[in-house]
Amino acid sequence: MTAFFNNLLNFIKLSRYPISRLVIEMQSYFNFLKSLSKKTDLVFEGSYDKQNILIIALYENNEIRNDILNLLKVAKDNNLFIICVNTLKIINKQRYKGLMDCYIERYNFGRDFGSYQEGILYLMKHNLLEECPRLILLNDSVFYSENNLNNFISSLTNTEIDVLGATENHEIDHHLGSFCLSMSNSVLVNNKFTRFWKHYKKSDARPKVIKYGEMRLSKILKKCALSDQNFKALFDVDWFSETVNRKYETLNIIDLVGSDAKVSWRKPSLQSISDRVYKKYLRSNFLFVDGVDLSLNDTSKMDVLSYIDSKKRIVDYISQLSKCDDKAGISNRVDKEIINELIECFPIGSQIHQNAIILHHLGLPIIKLDGLYRGMFSVRDIELLIGQLSKKDAAFFRTLIYSKPYGGDVFIGFKLSSFERGYI
């Protein structure tokens, strides 16, 4: 009888995930049916003058967020034709006319890819894709910091690269983050690109949006690009390697590396760096001088904990263990291992989450707002990010990020199992 109940309990535990997936799919289907009776509202539109175009997918109720308003101002300063597609409704819409050239409100189905599709189909309908030198896609799943925002938008606008994202992701299959994409005219008029958007099927199910939206779009864009060098991220590993080597002396590494939070991605740490130096440069075999055992494997030495909060402490630690007085030489080796550790860890997981603190410090003005919710940011990470922001941005970002606590701590039952599998 005990075995029966144990097997039943295991069956229930294993079956809760496919059941959760089924419920999410059913909810999405019912919302699709509901969307069939809803009309999209083209609130206002302006004249187009063959400039670069920005489509931004919004989920804004009553008022538009302060950081989004600042983004729109910066985009206007860069002479972008701005199309905003919102899945909620704002009040007093006409007050935003100076910041938008076209404003569309649609029923909330299909997430950000549904809004991207609406904006691109609008361009197709009015034959604007052929005239558009460059198209940028953004959404409000990220916070737009004032820091370096103008240079960031300018880089996305003035690049010669066919497909340029903000950051990339090597998990499952290499792809660019869909929260920020910039595409040249040769991509926009490619049949593969237009066919994707004409036939894209909207869904509320997050796994479907990732697989058939973000991942598939990246594959299409890679095929549309002239070469592999024309499909890349602005803040990729190449950029990071060059920047860290160039700016290393000015970086306070311990305050720029995120903590482990809830995800298992390998993170750089001073402990790991000291281990690298130890394993690479210190001999671990027995050494004898005048019959005295000087083994570095002596447990009396290795079991003692050392507090390491800076490069200097690593140098002192290694110098003490090795009985080496050449601290300048040790320091040079430690510097190289710190850089190696940072670059090795940079591509792991989602770059915009994994490296949020150092990326923002080095010029990326966007921060993912789901970082705490998905367990990718710790409170320490958030507080360090807040410390990098302007006073005005800091207060607003703090409210936004802490309003969505880690889902694993607040959800129960069906929602918890759905969250654990990334369905919501």
* 419 pLDDT above the threshold of 60: yes
Beta strands in 46-186, from DSSP E residues, in sequence order:
53-58, 81-86, 102-105, 134-139, 142-144, 163-165, 168-169, 175-176, 180-184
pLDDT in tens, 13-28: 556 778 888 889 999 9
Between 367-381, 390-404, 409-423, the lowest mean confidence (pLDDT) is in 409-423
Fold topology of 41-234: Spore Coat Polysaccharide Biosynthesis Protein SpsA; Chain A (3.90.550)
CB 310 within 8 A of CB 273: no
Beta partners for residue 54, in sequence order? 82, 136
> What's the rounded Cα separation, in Å, for the pair 377 and 355?
10
Percent over 90 (pLDDT), the chain: 67
Residue 131 CA to residue 296 CA, distance in Å, equals 69
For the chain, residues classed under CATH 3.90.550 are 41-234
pLDDT in tens, 332-363: 988 999 999 999 999 998 999 999 999 999 99
Q: How confident is the model at residue 304 (pLDDT cuts 50, 70, 90)?
A: low
Confirm if 17 and 419 have CB atoms less than 8 A apart.
Answer: no
Q: Which of 197, 128, 191, 135 is nearest to 162 (CA)?
A: 135
Q: Does residue 150 register a pLDDT over 80?
A: yes
Q: What H or E segment, with its residue span, contains residue 220?
A: helix 216-224
How far is residue 6's CA from residue 312's CA, in Å, rounded to a whole number? 54
- Which position has the higher pLDDT, 318 or 200? 200
Q: What is the pLDDT of residue 307?
A: 76
Stretch (H or E) spanning 233: strand 231-233
Mean pLDDT over residues 321-332, rounded?
A: 86
> Distance (Å, rounded) from C-alpha 250 to C-alpha 292?
43
Chain segment 202-252, per-residue pLDDT in tens: 999 999 999 999 999 999 999 999 999 999 999 999 999 999 999 988 888
pLDDT mean over 355-383? 95
Would you give the distance in Å from CA 220 to the centre of its chain?
20
Model confidence at 298, pLDDT cuts 50, 70, 90, reads very low
pLDDT of residue 283: 63
Average pLDDT, the chain: 89
pLDDT of amino acid 7: 52
Are the C-beta atoms of 153 and 75 separated by less than 8 Å?
yes
Question: What is the reported pLDDT for 316?
Answer: 87
Lowest mean pLDDT among 86-100, 292-306, 314-328, 369-383: 292-306
pLDDT at residue 106 is higher than 90? yes
pLDDT reading at 8 higher than 70: no
